Amino acid sequence: MDEATLLWGFLFGTIGIAMAVYGRKQKKIVPMACGVMLVVCPYVVTEVYALVGLGTLLIIIPFLIRQ
């Protein structure tokens, strides 16, 4: 694991925790699910570009899918 993967994982994990808490408090499944996936994503994806792409996609999805 290199520095870039570690920093991007920390960033997406932090955003994921915030999204999961927001989704739980607002009782919205899409932000909560995307938040949980953002927290788990850095453990599974080890390629930096794939991590950034997947993380960005998971951040954008709740804005595209409004409940």
**Is the pLDDT confidence value at 33 over 80?**
yes
* Average pLDDT along the chain: 93
Say what the pLDDT of residue 67 is: 62
Residue 44 CB neighbour total at 10 angstroms:
10
Prediction pTM value = 0.89
Burial of 48 (0-12, 13-18, 19+ CB in 10 A): middle
Contacts of 28 (CB under 8 A, 6+ apart): 22, 62, 67
